[in-house]
Chains A and B, each alone.
Chain A
Amino acid sequence: DGGITQSPKYLFRKEGQNVTLSCEQNLNHDAMYWYRQDPGQGLRLIYYSQIVNDFQKGDIAEGYSVSREKKESFPLTVTSAQKNPTAFYLCASSTDQRAEQYFGPGTRLTVT
């Protein structure tokens, strides 16, 4: 089955620790995205990548980092510099940036 997988579904970390969220797709999509969703605020773009080895900051990139070494994978690292890391994180992909985006199931990160 083609799709986007995110792991783990739930993640708990202590404040001050970096944590990496996984996103893998087997749709052969070129573009991949990371969003953050907070209650009542919709989705906000963190980072996006149009092709391998290239990525761009979104609206709220501070405190986050990404890599795109393979077409299928776009991991997101939430660093200790992110002031409010507790949120629902969603990964998406599309054939190119003009096309509709398809989302993974999300990872709920809780930092205490």
Chain B
Amino acid sequence: QKEVEQDPGPLSVPEGAIVSLNCTYSNSAFQYFMWYRQYSRKGPELLMYTYSSGNKEDGRFTAQVDKSSKYISLFIRDSQPSDSATYLCATLKIKAAGNKLTFGGGTRVLVKP
């Protein structure tokens, strides 16, 4: 079982719809949670970064973390064709020997005009 699971998609939505993305993780030691956006053939770009349960909002993006159920979500409101990309969730575990960032496999999103 992978430590971080993500549905690969593709997830296709019409322009203006809400995009809902989810990840589950297995290790309760994960302390920090991130969402990255990756356009085709480009490096990932950090969208959201949080370390606590609850919601964090930034413009059209809302990240939600539920540590009790080991579930993290990203919502994109008023989706645009430019939001078409692969979205990667990631979790960070703090260790004395060196911290480790673990990624999900990514969900491909397609926003149709």
Contacts and interface: CB of A to CB of B under 8 A. Distances in A.
A102 B46 contact: yes
Interface of B: 4, 6, 8, 32, 34, 36, 41-46, 49, 88, 92, 94, 97-101, 103-106
Interface in A1-20: 4, 6
B45 A45 contact: no
Nearest to A105: B43
B88 A42 contact: yes
Given A56-B98, A97-B98, A98-B92, A103 B103 contact: no
Contact of A40 (B8, B42, B103): B8
Contacts of B8: 40
Contacts of A102: 46
B72 to A, nearest CB: 14
Given A103-B44, A104-B43, A42 B105 contact: yes
